[in-house]
A and B are shown apart, each in its own frame.
Chain A
Amino acid sequence: MAGKSGRTINATPENVWKKQIFSWEGILVIIFIAVIILCKILSPNYTFTNVLREMPKYLSEIFLLFPMAYILLLGEIDISVGSIVCLSATAGCLVSNAGVPFGGVVIVILLTGTICGAINGAILVKFPELPSMIVTLGTQIVFRGIAEIVLGSGGSVSLSNTDGFRMIAKKAGPFPYVFFLVIISAVIFTVISVKMKFGRSLYAIGSNRQTAFYSGIRVKKVIFTAYTVMGLFAGIAALFLTSALYGANTTTGKGFEMDAIAMAVFGGIATTGGKGRLVGGVISAFIIICLRIGLGQINMNSQLILVIIGILLICAVLLPNITGNMKLKKKAN
């Protein structure tokens, strides 16, 4: 049953280069370059090797960004990840001090995170009418609460055997191991989001959950998977955080969830779901990290750094709105 009118529909994409440069990701690259130039001017110590040396303590947070971006694309949110990091790190330190070999410690840390994430996912899938903001607020309190109970009155635990953790904190040339893992994860998460069925499903669910469900997308499975992966990566973040701190305490990972959300939003991923790209999130993560390191080097007050990043974030969210309004006004005229 061919079209009766003989009408044809074009299926060739336009030349995409122009689009890429004027996209939000294009602007982010420019901001990234500007930030590096600025830091270079401000601080004489702002060299490639120095920045890489300071990077590991920030890098563990980036592990949270990738799955958080997925969850935001779904139109959901997870604010319990900071607590999952805390609980996983605590569990890891305790079993390590109990004499479990390093391999076992790694498994415990990753498994703790994965189970926590799966709990979030299971609740949200079982009770779809509950908002994820509230559910993960609840588990945020519960997970950290459990960690605090386990840590007891002292509120902290130090590793008695740091051998294994020292090993993963090593470097290859100027690059810490964790840096490679971040890059590999970034590539995998980005490719899945643009090239694979799971990624397409994320965007479909975030754009119109009902239509996705009616079209045969396994909505519950996708949501559960995203939250479980979030938990696993909170475990990975906990592993590298522990290898930098040699211990855990009740404030470990506090605020990590907000940092991850900020990176994603700054990268152009909308909290309403279905919009934005992983690439943007990754670039914005490095912008924030490089800015923090630079401002830290000139001994700027760390609270002031937070204020600056907060303001940047609001500007980043406002910008597309302002340009969008301008376009609308043009159209109206």
Chain B
Amino acid sequence: MSEYVLELKGITKIFPGVKALNQVRFQLRPGEVHALMGENGAGKSTFIKVITGVHRAEEGEMFLNGKKVEFKGPRDAQAAGIAAVYQHPTSYPDLTVTENIFMNHEMKKHGMIQWKEMNKEAQKYLDELDADFKSTAEMGTLSVAQQQMVEIAKAVSTHARIVILDEPTAALTANESEKLYHIVDKLKEDGVSIIFISHRFEDMYRLASRVTVFRDSQYIGTYDVDKITNAELIKQMVGREISDLYPKPEVKFGGEMLRIENFSRTGYFKDVSLNVRAGEIVGLTGLVGAGRTEVMEAVCGITGFNQGKVYLEGKEVHIKNPTDAGNYGIILLPEDRQKTGLILSWGLGRNVTLPILDKFTHKGFINEKEERNLAKDLLESVDTKAVTVFDPASSLSGGNQQKVVVAKALAQDNMKVVIMDEPTKGVDVGAKAEIYQIMGELAQKGYAIIMISSEMPEIIGMCDRVYVMCGGKVTGELERSVLSQELILEHAMEKSTKKEGA
């Protein structure tokens, strides 16, 4: 028997244009709970998918109990006793718990499914986990915590020896988390090895004996949990050097442009107040799911809100839909370029001019020549890499698509406030720098800018002021002079340290 039940060496995974994993290694001891930590986009999820056979690594080796293995697909990993439980359970909501547990490995006799035995067996697994629901219940009627329990029961039913939990506590209340800890302890007693991904330090201290840190697709180190301090660990997770990637210009702020007060939407965010001045770049950060995007979508009239007021240049405004927001000059550059930012099948030109059709419509008719020339100028002003304005948006890279989205915003003459949601997500470093450049120029021109971002370096590099959100609330407002990754992270994780439900 080898020292490690699972060992990976030199794993490299390349997606078109990006190295998602770069020479990563990992060692899992039998019966241990091993935490895997890192920022959003550090490569944790990709790494898990390599282990479970969803992705195949370009380079590297994987050993199971000392023997080299190669998974061609998720089935191989399952057969080898590896099971994964994801943050959002990938279940069949209309089927029963039993059917979900035995999906793809039903108990059959002469080709007939043995319902009675299966229900009984499923109930046995649920009882072992102290579940408070029946195996005949419909999956969709269960809470997220209960659904996770089903996923774990499924892992147990396949006799998995290695169980991977991907942010299992992200959607759970404190009580439910406690229950999950018990289940993990139980699995550990049975000799199951567990890989545990979480943003919450609390989870790690409570469960794990060792922790491995990834950053920027690379392996940083593996530490004993009781030998590393919180501060040290955070430094390992975020401690990259900030270069001159961020050309932040010195801008003298003008008057207040946008202010929102006591903004609330049940189930999404509560009592959010913030403001931004002309020429100022304000960051809105926090972990994924903290409610940042939701706040800004409500401001722009994309979704509704229950309470709160919006002021533009000191006057209260009522925004009911994105058209209103556009008329007031509040422009949102959405996070998902493919779904909400662009029409991929359309040419670049028409994408850019979609919000400003009135501008070159005379007596009801669109002047297409005027339209094309306007689009050409705008696309050139942000330096889009394209041949003609007729190139379909789908033919561009992520960074260039983002530039088109920026051009689309610039097309709106009355623009006052620019809200950029994760402007550099999925964008390579070169294009990133260009987008920061444009952002700086916009600030110099006196636009008020709000940048929603999970990437600490760009928040610190570009922002004059930062609001940190956690669990739907603003947990901190930090000036540029005091900004540090540790401080931001502390506020972003407030929920887990103070242990209160949202």
Q: How far is the CB of B403 from chain A (nearest CB, A)?
A: 10
Cβ contacts under 8 Å, B387 to chain A:
9-10
* CB<8 Å pairs between A and B, sample of 27: A1-B438, A1-B441, A4-B383, A5-B383, A9-B348, A9-B379, A9-B387, A10-B388, A11-B389, A13-B372, A196-B364, A196-B366, A197-B361, A197-B364, A197-B366, A200-B350, A200-B366, A204-B343, A208-B344, A211-B343, A212-B343, A213-B302, A213-B321, A214-B332, A215-B355, A216-B325, A274-B345
Q: Report whether A195 and B372 are in contact in the complex, using a CB–CB cutoff of 8 Å.
A: no
Q: B-facing mask of A37-51, CB < 8 A → 1, else 0?
A: 000000000000000
Q: Report whether B381 and A214 are in contact in the complex, using a CB–CB cutoff of 8 Å.
A: no
Cβ contacts under 8 Å, B342 to chain A:
208, 211
Q: Report whether A9 and B386 are in contact in the complex, using a CB–CB cutoff of 8 Å.
A: yes
Q: B-facing mask of A194-218, CB < 8 A → 1, else 0?
A: 0111001100100110111111111
- Interface stretch (choices B38-46, B254-262, B271-279, B333-341): B333-341
Tell me if B408 counts as interface (CB < 8 A to partner A): yes
Tell me if B323 counts as interface (CB < 8 A to partner A): yes
> Which residue of chain A is the closest to B345 with respect to CB atoms?
A207
Cβ contacts under 8 Å, B357 to chain A:
197, 200-201
Nearest 3 Cβ contacts at the A-B interface: A11-B376, A216-B326, A3-B383
Cβ contacts under 8 Å, A12 to chain B:
372
Cβ contacts under 8 Å, B339 to chain A:
208, 210-211
Q: Report whether B365 and A196 are in contact in the complex, using a CB–CB cutoff of 8 Å.
A: yes
Tell me if A8 counts as interface (CB < 8 A to partner B): yes
Task: Give me the interface of A with B, judged by CB distance under 8 Å.
Answer: 1-5, 7-13, 195-197, 200-201, 204, 207-208, 210-218, 274
Cβ contacts under 8 Å, A197 to chain B:
357-358, 361, 364, 366
Cβ contacts under 8 Å, A213 to chain B:
302, 321-322
- Known contacts A195-B365, A197-B361, A11 near B438 by CB under 8 Å: no
Q: How far is the CB of A255 from chain B (nearest CB, A)?
A: 33
Q: Report whether B382 and A3 are in contact in the complex, using a CB–CB cutoff of 8 Å.
A: yes
Q: How far is the CB of A332 from chain B (nearest CB, A)?
A: 18
Cβ contacts under 8 Å, B327 to chain A:
216
Tell me if B349 counts as interface (CB < 8 A to partner A): yes
Cβ contacts under 8 Å, A274 to chain B:
345
Q: Report whether A216 and B323 are in contact in the complex, using a CB–CB cutoff of 8 Å.
A: yes
Tell me if B390 counts as interface (CB < 8 A to partner A): yes
Q: Is the interface of A mostly helix, strand, loop or mixed?
A: loop
Q: Which of B343, B364, B387 has the most CB of A within 10 A?
A: B343
User: Would you list which residues of chain B between 300 and 328 have a CB under 8 Å from chain A?
Assistant: 302, 321-323, 325-327
Q: Which of B383, B389, B438 has the most CB of A within 10 A?
A: B383
Tell me if B385 counts as interface (CB < 8 A to partner A): yes
Docked Cα-Cα span, A215 to B357, in Å, equals 11
Cβ contacts under 8 Å, B350 to chain A:
200
Tell me if B380 counts as interface (CB < 8 A to partner A): yes
Cβ contacts under 8 Å, A214 to chain B:
302, 322, 332, 334, 340-341
7 new A-B contacts, CB < 8 A, other than A11-B376, A208-B343, A211-B354, are A3-B382, A195-B365, A197-B357, A201-B357, A213-B321, A215-B326, A216-B355
Docked Cα-Cα span, A197 to B345, in Å, equals 19
> Which residue of chain A is the closest to B353 with respect to CB atoms?
A200
Partner of B354, one of A2, A8, A10, A212: A212
Q: Report whether B343 and A7 are in contact in the complex, using a CB–CB cutoff of 8 Å.
A: no
Q: A-facing mask of B367-410, CB < 8 A → 1, else 0?
A: 00000110110011111111111100000000000000000100
Q: How far is the CB of B436 from chain A (nearest CB, A)?
A: 13
Cβ contacts under 8 Å, A1 to chain B:
381-382, 438, 441
Cβ contacts under 8 Å, A200 to chain B:
350, 354, 357, 366
Docked Cα-Cα span, A12 to B327, in Å, equals 31
Q: Report whether B383 and A215 are in contact in the complex, using a CB–CB cutoff of 8 Å.
A: no
Tell me if B115 counts as interface (CB < 8 A to partner A): no
Q: Which of A210, A213, A214, A274 has the most CB of B within 10 A?
A: A214
Docked Cα-Cα span, A285 to B386, in Å, equals 39
Q: Report whether A11 and B323 are in contact in the complex, using a CB–CB cutoff of 8 Å.
A: no
Partner of B389, one of A7, A9, A204, A207: A9
Cβ contacts under 8 Å, B361 to chain A:
196-197
Docked Cα-Cα span, A149 to B240, in Å, equals 76
Q: Report whether B380 and A8 are in contact in the complex, using a CB–CB cutoff of 8 Å.
A: yes
> Which residue of chain A is the closest to B364 with respect to CB atoms?
A196
- Known contacts A11-B373, A213-B302, A3 near B388 by CB under 8 Å: no
Q: Report whether A11 and B375 are in contact in the complex, using a CB–CB cutoff of 8 Å.
A: yes
Tell me if B205 counts as interface (CB < 8 A to partner A): no
Q: Report whether B372 and A7 are in contact in the complex, using a CB–CB cutoff of 8 Å.
A: no
> Which residue of chain B is the closest to A13 with respect to CB atoms?
B390
Q: How far is the CB of A222 from chain B (nearest CB, A)?
A: 11
Q: Which of B375, B386, B390, B438 has the most CB of A within 10 A?
A: B390
Cβ contacts under 8 Å, B345 to chain A:
207-208, 274
Docked Cα-Cα span, A1 to B407, in Å, equals 12
Tell me if B92 counts as interface (CB < 8 A to partner A): no
Partner of B385, one of A7, A201, A215, A216: A7
